[in-house]
Structure 1
């Protein structure tokens, strides 16, 4: 028996380095950092090996991976469609029509990322068509257009935040007259509560605990707010006004501090949260115009922020906003973290890996992956594979050692 148990432990440990799913926007913990370790951090000149490559429709929807399936959303000439792919082959397992395709001069199609929760996946189109589907076969359990239901108007560049699940609730920033921040029952789509009076932003919520108070943080069109998940009570708020209400990047919570950043004429801010009994107060620590996350979210590693200041990749101190270094060459890029490194996708299709170090930008691999269309979707890393898409294709790359 001891020999059997030892064998199982060894077999499991051999797979620990590349056995993580990526079930929702910015991964399991919403940090944008993978916990995988057994990856290739120095790339050959030929780049990473392609496992499969498929044609895909329009849009900037992110990629979620759970078990043996890959989920994303794409647009065709008429509709936006949720799709499940075989993670090993890229073949379509099922697809489900959500609603009419969103069309815009900066790119057609969906913007949000599917959220996998158990055997269900939650998806929302750029026009507000929210559906709960079976991960197995795409069967529709329930659906609702949140803009019509809560008397909202679509935002300029389409609904972009991803569905956020906590226990039996689904949260979304609709910004409607009948519901600004809303909570729906994830099992049937019924309204559980509505709260606030904030215009919709483009961001996805996170959770935080301050002084024993667990709450949800949401970056709306004109405030970052914290609220109780069970009733939607606003615990704190911090005003942050951006041109066109484009607050798109996901906030970062660390050590009772919240980092936010926006593009246009805004910048970044650090907010310190303090708990007093059942209330939370928010105090501004600093603001700067040296980090403007237009749409791509930053990541935090060892008290340093790494992110795109418009068309420049930067590293800055989390607590002081001191700039450590700046790097060009990617235009409007996106990034994720893994094993002390960052994987960077430039909007013109260049893919790179570099060290997560405040000392300097040290690149350890590069490959020209796409040409001809914008790459505004952050890559996903799951189970030893890197999933990357542009507006017409998706590629799966082998990144295991």
Structure 2
């Protein structure tokens, strides 16, 4: 749990009993919608925490704040920090916050966090990016900028973006069987997209939902895709015949 209050930045509870295991020191910034993310950096299990002003790594074992940075700020964080491996942590959100890449390393008995790049060319307001073969794919729309769906390299360079053709609003997405399953948040369409840094290639599209603001997270289990809008939920069999 991430209360981000004056009493604690993060709190761990026993999943069976609900009893408190540890609580971290306060972490600067206000409450966010971003979920805590589990990762391992330099063989140390950590929980990534994002507030309005701070990105931090908390020891999953003790609750100690191992490192933090105030180099990324967002009015209302929703998308969670995204660990890319090798100590890299990618963060992107909306409200013109842009994106940042951190590099976290252990030096002696302490962790050090440095910023590799910051950019306003990438915005991901609601959903985490997807990493595939050295590139990230994400819905790049926020309140003020409409980049559509986009692909970027790990140095922050945008390879392509769809802008408004198609726009996708804030639809969710996932990667499975070498394809991106992307919901068009404006139309309720499910789009199959090839994850290719050379350009946007839509392989197919089918209308499954009928309302606007189809922004829910997409889930896949045993070949069945779960999607929802403001009024309904559907389970779609997407296994090959």
Structure 1: which 5+ residue stretches go unaligned?
1-171
Q: Highest relative contact order (Cα 8 Å, sep 6+), 1 or 2?
A: 1
**Residue 367 (structure 1) aligns with:** 206
Q: Which structure 1 residue ranges, 4+ long, deviate > 3 Å from structure 2?
A: none
What are the superposed Cα offsets for residues 177-203 of structure 1, whole Å, 9 maximum, x if unpaired?
A: 333311112112122222132332111
Of 112, 115, 118, the match for 1:287: 118
Asked if the contact 2:83–2:90 (Cα under 8 Å) also holds between the matched residues in 1, the reply is yes
**Residue 129 (structure 1) aligns with:** none
Number of aligned residue pairs: 227
What are the superposed Cα offsets for residues 123-150 of structure 1, whole Å, 9 maximum, x if unpaired?
A: xxxxxxxxxxxxxxxxxxxxxxxxxxxx
Asked if the contact 1:345–1:378 (Cα under 8 Å) also holds between the matched residues in 2, the reply is no
2-structure distance, mates of 1:370, 1:386: 13
What are the superposed Cα offsets for residues 194-238 of structure 1, whole Å, 9 maximum, x if unpaired?
A: 213233211122222222222221222321110111221011111
1-structure distance, mates of 2:42, 2:22: 25
User: Structure 1-normalised TM-score?
Assistant: 0.55
**Residue 157 (structure 2) aligns with:** 322
SS at match of 1:180: coil
Asked if the contact 1:376–1:390 (Cα under 8 Å) also holds between the matched residues in 2, the reply is yes
What are the superposed Cα offsets for residues 59-84 of structure 1, whole Å, 9 maximum, x if unpaired?
A: xxxxxxxxxxxxxxxxxxxxxxxxxx
SS at match of 2:9: strand
What are the superposed Cα offsets for residues 293-317 of structure 1, whole Å, 9 maximum, x if unpaired?
A: 1112211111111011114111000
Of 217, 230, 233, the match for 1:391: 230
Answer yes or no: is 1:302 the counterpart of 2:133. yes
Structure 2: which 5+ residue stretches go unaligned?
none
User: Structure 2-normalised TM-score?
Assistant: 0.89
SS at match of 1:173: coil
How much is the aligned-residue C-alpha RMSD, in angstroms?
Answer: 1.5
Of 19, 22, 25, the match for 1:193: 22
Answer yes or no: is 1:382 the counterpart of 2:213. no
Q: Which has the higher helix share?
A: 1
Asked if the contact 1:343–1:354 (Cα under 8 Å) also holds between the matched residues in 2, the reply is yes
What are the superposed Cα offsets for residues 36-60 of structure 1, whole Å, 9 maximum, x if unpaired?
A: xxxxxxxxxxxxxxxxxxxxxxxxx
Alignment of 1:201-212 (within 5 A): 201-212=32-43
